[in-house]
Amino acid sequence: MMIQEKFDFEVECFHKTKDELIAFCRHFNQVFLYGTGEYGKQCFSFLTKHNIAIKGFIVTHKQESECFGLPIFAAEEIIPSLTPQTGIVLSLKKTFRDEIRSKFINTDTVKIFEMEDSFFAHCAWISKIGEFQKFIAEAFTKIKAGCLEKEIIAGRDLITDLAIKRELANNPTIFHLINLFISLTKHKATIKPILTGFEPPMKVELSQDPSLNQYLLEHVQIYWKGIGVKEPYWSVLTAEKFFIDNIQYTKKEFYNSGKGDVEKFLVTLERNNIRLANNRTCIDFGCGLGRLTIWLTRNFDKVYGCDISDSHLEIAKQNLGGSGIFNAEFFQLQELNDIERLPKVDVFFSLIVLQHNPPPIMLKMLEKLIGRLNTGGIGYFQIPTYRHKYQFILEDYLAATSNEEKRMEMHCIPQLELFRFFEMQKVTVLEVMEDTYTGDQTGRSNTFLIQKN
C-alpha cells in the first residue's frame, strides 16, 4: 500500500472506532473508563470533547481516589456490583487489556468496549489532520524532487534534515511520520532557552586523591547494587510502569526506549562526517540492563557493556542472551583502574550514568575511558553541566553522606571544567548538544561528541 493509502486507511479506521465508541457510551446509563494512565486520560478528554460524561474510573490497584475530579474504584470492589446497564471502556494498552478481561470482567453482566492501541495514538494528532497532511505532502514532494537536504518543513532546525531523511528513507510507517510530526509541533510549541545567562557560578571541587576517589566509587556502587536487586528497571527509567510488578507487561517498551538514543548517536556521527572504521568496537559505560547495549550491538561488531553493579549486569546478560545477541560482553567495575583493563575500542558511549557520580570521579572515569580509545576514536556521553543551587564541596559531601541511607545522586560539572579537561586530554570536541536526560527543565544537561587526536 502506498503511504497515502495507508494514511487514508488509518484515518478511516480511526473515525469508525470513534463513532462506535460514542454510540457505545450513549447506549449505557453509566459508563466507566478502565485505566487512569495515558490512555485513560486521553479517552476521558476525547469523550468530554464529545459531551459524554462518565461515572468514574476503574483500576486494578487503587492508589489514588480521584482522577479529573471523578472517583476511582478498585476493580475487585466495583465490578461485581455493576448492573447490565453499565458499559466499561478499556482505556489501556492491549497487554493489560487481555488480563483484565479474563480476570475481572464478566461480559454477561457488563458490556465492554475495546479499541486498538492505534486509536489512542491517533487521538493525539487527529485534530491537526490538515497540518499533518500538508507536512507529509511537502516532505514527499521534496523527496521526489531530490532536494531533501534543503528545508522541507518549518522547524527543521529542531530536527535535522538528516533525521528526517533517515525517517522518510526507511519505508516509514504512518506511525513514524505521525511521531515525527508530533515531535516537531511539540518542539515548536515549547521552545525556550534552558539557561537565561544570568546564572551565578557553580562551585565544584575536584579531588585528585586516589583513595578518596575509590571511596566515592564504592559509595555510589552500594546504591546501584542494592537498587539493582530491588527495582532494577525502575532504577534505569524512573517511571512506575517499570516497577518489577509491572515489568512483565512493559519490558518490551523498556528495551525499545533505547532505540531512539542510539539512532540519535548515529545521526550525530553522520552530521559530523564521522565514518566508523571496520571491525568497530564500542564500550557501553554504565550499561545497566543493556537497554542501549541491545541497539548498539546492531551497529558494532562487538560491544563491551560495563557497569558498577553486578545485579544490573546479570539481568543484562540474561535478557540480551535470551534475545539471541552474542556480540556483547559484560564486565563489572570494582575500581576506577578496572577501566584500564577494558579492550581498546573505536567508541565509548555513556548515557545517564556519569551524572550519578560525584564530579571528581566523573572526570577520572572520563580520563580512563579516553585512554581506552584508539586514535581517532569517538566518545559520546552525557553530563549535566548546570543546576541551580548545585555545589560540590568535598568536605560537606563526605559529612552528609557518611551515615545517610544511599540514594540516587545527581551531580554536575560546569562546562568550563570540562573544556579545560578536554584540552588536557588532547581530544577535539566535535559537538555539544543540549539534552533532556535529567528531566530538570531549569538546569542544563549536555551530550558531548569528542574525538581522540
Ligand X SMILES: C[S@@+](CC[C@H](N)C(=O)[O-])C[C@H]1O[C@@H](n2cnc3c(N)ncnc32)[C@H](O)[C@@H]1O
**What is the binding site for ligand X (CB under 6 A)?**
217, 220, 224, 236, 286-288, 291-292, 307-309, 312, 333, 351-353, 356-357, 365
Closer CB to ligand X, residue 287 or residue 413?
A: 287
153 vs 365, beta carbon nearer ligand X: 365
Q: Could you tell me whether strands 302-307 and 345-350 are parallel, antiparallel, or unpaired per DSSP bridges? A: unpaired
Query: How far apart, in whole angstroms, are the C-alpha atoms of residue 330 and residue 283?
Result: 10
CB of 358 to ligand X, least distance (A): 10
417-422: long-range contacts at Cβ-Cβ below 8 A with a sequence spacing of 24 or more? 417/204, 417/206, 417/359, 417/363, 418/383, 418/385, 418/448, 421/363, 421/366, 421/367, 422/450
Q: Which CB atom, from 33 or from 363, has the smaller least distance to ligand X?
A: 363
- Retrieve residue 252's grid coordinates: 518490551
Minimum Å gap between C-beta 213 and ligand X is 10
Q: Are 423 and 448 in contact (CB under 8 A)?
A: no
**Does residue 324 come out as left (phi exceeding 0), alpha (psi in the -120 to 50 range) or beta?**
left
- Residue 174 or 361: the one with the smaller Cβ distance to ligand X is 361
Nearer to ligand X, 119 or 224 (CB): 224
Q: What is the DSSP string of 311-364?
A: HHHHHHHHHHHHTT--SEEEEE-SSGGGGGGSPPEEEEEESSSGGGS-HHHHHH
Q: Cβ 254 to ligand X, closest distance in Å?
A: 9
- CB 437 → ligand X: shortest distance, Å? 9
Q: Of 15, 27, 19, give the one whose Cα is nearest residue 112.
A: 27
Cβ proximity to ligand X, 72 vs 339, nearer residue = 339
> Which residue has 480511526 as its cell numbers?
14
Nearer to ligand X, 7 or 330 (CB): 330
CB of 232 to ligand X, least distance (A): 8
CA atoms within 13 A on the CB side of 354: 30
Nearer to ligand X, 91 or 246 (CB): 246
How near is the Cβ of 131 to ligand X at its closest, in Å?
33
Residue 251 C-beta: closest distance to ligand X, Å: 13
Q: Which is nearer to ligand X, 184 or 351 (CB)?
A: 351
Which one-letter amino acid corresponds to residue 423? E
Spatial neighbors of 227 by CB under 8 A, at least 6 apart, are 234, 235, 408
Minimum separation from the CB atom of position 336 to ligand X (A): 8
Grid coordinates representing 129 are 489532520
Comparing CB distances to ligand X, the nearer of 309 and 446 is 309
Neighbours of 435 (CB within 10 A): 16
Q: How far is the CB of 343 from ligand X (least distance, A)?
A: 16
The residue sitting closest to ligand X, measured at its beta carbon, is 288
**Which residue, 178 or 363, has its beta carbon nearer to ligand X?**
363
Q: Which of 145, 195, 192, 143 minimizes the C-alpha distance to 164?
A: 143
* Smallest gap from residue 344 Cβ to ligand X (A): 18
**Minimal distance, residue 333 CB to ligand X, in Å:** 5
Q: Residue 448, CB half-sphere, CA atoms under 13 Å: how many? A: 25
Answer for the pair 225, 311: CB distance below 8 angstroms, yes or no: yes
* Beta strand extents in 64-159 (DSSP E only): 66-67, 70-74, 86-90, 111-113
